[in-house]
Structure 1
């Protein structure tokens, strides 16, 4: 028995087929164009999990995961720019204050697009960005090492650490302004197209009404532990795309089928764990499944390169692009626990 896909899944598949896949190799070399982001804005995908009363779709987690798989498998750079948006939306959804009423609807409808500038808080006790109260708001100083989507998104969710080890999350405009200067776009082995920069903050001031959350660092780290241990949908999307290439090549149908069985099983396990309550006890199981997902993704992208032969070494070859994107996903959102688990798995085979 088959079921009708959610309308946003159908939308993502159409966007992938008509725009993202045909241009993915060019985008990989030249950068994500504003037209791609405009198409994502119009599609409704930026509001996939946003509350319906604010103009979003309020779709289940399974729909959000599936749309992410489709976008990542089609053009990982475009996926990576737009995926930043969903965390600010989620944080606003759980907040009750003026910034929610100001930003949640335009973010849910795609009128505005958000990025995130807070992965550095995982470096604690090192503090790359400090926050301090000043003039009825907050002053941010330091360096945001990674900020993706510069020039493509409108606002950013920024975090800094206070002298009392409290995290302050606030929204700011994603543009150069007094107290904020962006570096040149980084040249990376993969996803250079996603327009990643670093941000130098020297007294960037945001008003109190732009603050969306204040939380002790230890409490946030506990929340982040289980969340970051999940296997992300992009891993499965890139692996899916690679196996499609393998299946189309000479001698590739049977290897693709065997890898597909492994991929579907680890995806089922990963999403079942993601749907369980996020507790410290679930972390080890999630990390183990995340590592197995990496193993299958690496096998799938390597198989695509092998099936492509010498042609796969060309920069405009899809298999080679997927292999590099898979390499990026190995460290995307990496925590110390994830790194230790992955390295241990690689060492023992």
Structure 2
């Protein structure tokens, strides 16, 4: 949707044209292959925001957003697996710890692939995963409801909460081991291919040198609030892909043009708010724009279904896949504040 002249954007477009788009419907019905992640690694996209001194690209945030849009619009399941990787890289890079010197370079270069297991911290006052200091390390007990990329990831960024409401972030091996048992792969309405499981933790022990960060829950919530209010680049990527499909139909060109104007406008506004120098000053505005982004995405994917007619109901049809991926994005990374804002918008029409 932009003309960013950056090698990573060019690489992402080439990758989607040659690999992701041609195989997207097959992947949707099976699972993300390891080869897709290897191709993303070779393209340098796993290190898009990682520090250059550790082997990353240290690309501007606009490049990270655009490459995310491109990948999500091509194959949302593949995008969802690889997008987990960037949060551990960013957190490890930002905090001095033994983990940074041990793991940041292999993560930045994509030699290792990381997943995340900490969204449950947002469930407070419920505490799905508890962390207790034990034997020169930390013991984790509880249940991680969602963990994406099982069987593809090498390590995970796991968080638990102590009895004093401190959040402990550690890096652990992403494999079955004493104290960690994965469920069978979850069957979902969309993105089943992303290999999502739940994790049962029963005395998983992680050494102290694997701790990335410890912070109070209130501090976590303060940092998380504006970040979680932003619209995901994937929303714009899926919407753009649907509009491209729509524009290629005899009846859809005018509708695609009108929706494109709406999409470009809300995208510009969303990213401007995300870059605001005082993040907490505009959380309500971010939530409102996030909801508008969902509205445009839903209109775009619905229009692609309508233009496709009965053919759009076939499982090998791109329009229905994009529509289901859009449904998934409505709840991906959702917080209570985001849910309330979205429901209020729907109620008001």
With normalisation by structure 2, the TM-score equals 0.99
Deviations 1:109-145 (Å, cap 9, x if unpaired)? 0000000000000000100000000110000000000
Equivalence for 1:228: 228
Equivalence for 1:179: 179
CA distance in 2, matches of 1:174, 1:119: 16
Equivalence for 1:92: 92
Equivalence for 1:248: 248
Deviations 1:198-228 (Å, cap 9, x if unpaired)? 0000110111110001000011001100000
**Structure 1 residue 4 displacement after superposition:** 6.0
Equivalence for 1:291: 291
Equivalence for 1:68: 68
Q: Which runs of 4+ in 1 moved over 4 A?
A: none
**Does the 8 A contact of 1:118 with 1:160 survive in 2?**
yes
CA distance in 1, matches of 2:310, 2:5: 38
2:184 alignment partner, SS class: coil
> Larger deviation: 116-125 or 271-280?
271-280
Q: Is 1:25 paired with 2:25?
A: yes
Equivalence for 1:124: 124
- After superposition, the Cα gap between the structure-2 partners of 1:227 and 1:3, relative to the gap in structure 1 and judged at 3 Å, is closer
2:95 alignment partner, SS class: coil
- After superposition, the Cα gap between the structure-2 partners of 1:320 and 1:338, relative to the gap in structure 1 and judged at 3 Å, is same
2:305 alignment partner, SS class: helix
2:125 alignment partner, SS class: coil
CA distance in 2, matches of 1:255, 1:49: 36
1:105-116 aligned within 5 A: 105-116=105-116
With normalisation by structure 1, the TM-score equals 0.99
Equivalence for 1:36: 36
**Structure 1 residue 282 displacement after superposition:** 1.3
Equivalence for 1:101: 101
Cα RMSD between the aligned structures?
A: 0.9
**Does the 8 A contact of 2:4 with 2:63 survive in 1?**
no
Unaligned runs of 5+ in 2: none
Unaligned runs of 5+ in 1: none
CA distance in 2, matches of 1:3, 1:311: 33
Equivalence for 2:201: 201
CA distance in 2, matches of 1:281, 1:227: 12
Equivalence for 2:329: 329
Deviations 1:231-250 (Å, cap 9, x if unpaired)? 11000000000000100012
2:186 alignment partner, SS class: coil
Equivalence for 2:259: 259
**Does the 8 A contact of 1:131 with 1:140 survive in 2?**
yes
CA distance in 2, matches of 1:271, 1:109: 27
**Structure 1 residue 38 displacement after superposition:** 1.2
Equivalence for 2:156: 156
Equivalence for 1:275: 275
